[in-house]
Amino acid sequence: MTDARDPNSAAQPQGHLGQLDDLREQVDQINLQLLDLLSRRGELVAEIGRLKSSEGGTKFYDPKREEDQLRLVRQANRGPFTDAAISAMFKEIFKASLDLEETREQRKLLVSRKQKSEDTVLTIGDVRIGGSEAPVLIAGPCAIESEGQMDQTAALVKELGGGILRGGAYKPRTSPYGFQGMGVDGLQLGRKVADRHGMQFMTEVMDTRDVEVVAQYADILQIGARNMHNFSLLREVGAVRRPVLLKRGLSATMEEWLYAAEYILSGGNENVIMCERGIRTFEKWTRNTLDLSAVALIKQESHLPVVVDVTHAAGRRDLLLPLARAALAVGADGIHVEVHPQPATAMSDNEQQLDFEGFRQFVAGLNLISKQR
C-alpha cells in the first residue's frame, strides 16, 4: 500500500523496481552465459559419446566419473547453494548429457523410433500385424508330429480367428536325446496344412544351414530364445525377405534384444516381429517371468510389432489367459500360444500346451481377438 502524503512511499517501490529490474537483467545475462557453457559442455559430451561408440561401446552411463565430478564441485562450492543443491543440479546435467549420448546412438539404429516414428505394419498373406491393426493370434503345436495333428489344430485355430499356424520342424531341446523334430518332412507338412486352411505358416529355424529350406516352406521364420544371440543366424535371416519373429533371449536385456533385431534389419530385412516370452528370474512358480514392461517399452523405443508368447512365459496353463489379457492391455500386437490335440502325449512341452477345449476357452476369454479381426 502506498501513502500519497509520504514523499518516499511512491518513490520507494519505484527504486526497488529499478533495483529488481537491474538484478533480473544480471540474472538474464548469467542465464545466457550458463546456456553457452551448457551448450559447450553438451558438445564435449557428444564428442565423448562418439568416442565411446566408435570403440564399440553402448554403455554411456559412468557412475564413477559422475561421482568424481560431484566431488570436485562440492570441494569448490563456496555457497550460497548447499552441497546437496549443487549435487542435484549437476546430476540433472549428467542425466541430460547421458540422454544426448544415448539419443545420438539410438538415432543410428534402424529398429529405433528415433529413426522411424510410425509403426511398422507387416502384411503376411492376408494377415496384418502392428500399428492399429487388431491383435493377431499365432497358434499351433510345439512340434509338428503328423498330418492329422497339424490338420485338426489348423482347423480349430482358423475357426477361432487365428491366421498364423505355428509348428516346430527343428526343435531346440535341452537334451540331445529329446525329439529333435521332423526336419524337412515337418516343413512340408506345415506348408501343406497351412495352405489347405488358408493360413500363414510359422516355424523355427535354428541353424544357418537351414535358413534357405525353411524360407522355402514357411511364411514366417522364428528365431528362438536360445538363438537370439546367434549372430550368424541373425545375419542369415537378415539376408532373406521372409518376416522373422525374434524371441527375446532367456536372460537378454531389452537393449540386447533390440540389437539382435538390428542385425536382421541391417541385413536388409525390415520384417521383424519382436516376441516377449518371459525371462529367467529367481521365481520358481512360473517357468519364466513375463516382462510386460518390455512389451510397453519396446513399443515405445521401436516401431516394430511386439507379440507375447504366453505359453513359454508362464509354463503353466492356468496363467495363459490372464497373461494374454495383460499383454494386450499393455499394447501387444498379438498373442502366441501352443495348442495340441492331445497335449499329454505330445512329443515335447506336454506340460504347457493347451488342449482343444482349453484353447476354445482361452480364445473366448480373450474375446478381443475374434471380435476385432
Ligand X SMILES: O=C(O)C(=O)C[C@]1(C(=O)O)C=C[C@@H](O)C=C1
Q: What is the contact surface with ligand X in residues (CB under 6 A)?
A: 45, 48, 60-62, 65-66, 69, 94, 97-98, 101
Closest approach, Cβ 253 to ligand X, in A, equals: 18
Separation of alpha carbons 143 and 151, rounded Å: 13
Closest approach, Cβ 100 to ligand X, in A, equals: 8
Residue 351 CA, chain-centre distance (Å), reads 27
The closest residue (CB) to ligand X is 97
For residue 50, what are the contacts with CB-CB under 8 A and spacing of at least 6? 104
User: Would you say the C-alpha torsion 250, 258, 298, 121 has a positive or negative sign?
Assistant: negative
Output 61 or 81, the one with its CB closest to ligand X.
61
Separation of alpha carbons 339 and 366, rounded Å: 15
Output 34 or 329, the one with its CB closest to ligand X.
34
Closest approach, Cβ 97 to ligand X, in A, equals: 3
* CA torsion angle 113 119 120 125 (round to 10): 170
Separation of alpha carbons 358 and 139, rounded Å: 13
What is the residue whose three cell numbers read 535354428? 206
Output 102 or 147, the one with its CB closest to ligand X.
102
Output 62 or 256, the one with its CB closest to ligand X.
62
Output 16 or 50, the one with its CB closest to ligand X.
50
Q: Which residues pair with 38 in a beta bridge?
A: none
CB 145 within 8 A of CB 168: no
Closest approach, Cβ 68 to ligand X, in A, equals: 9
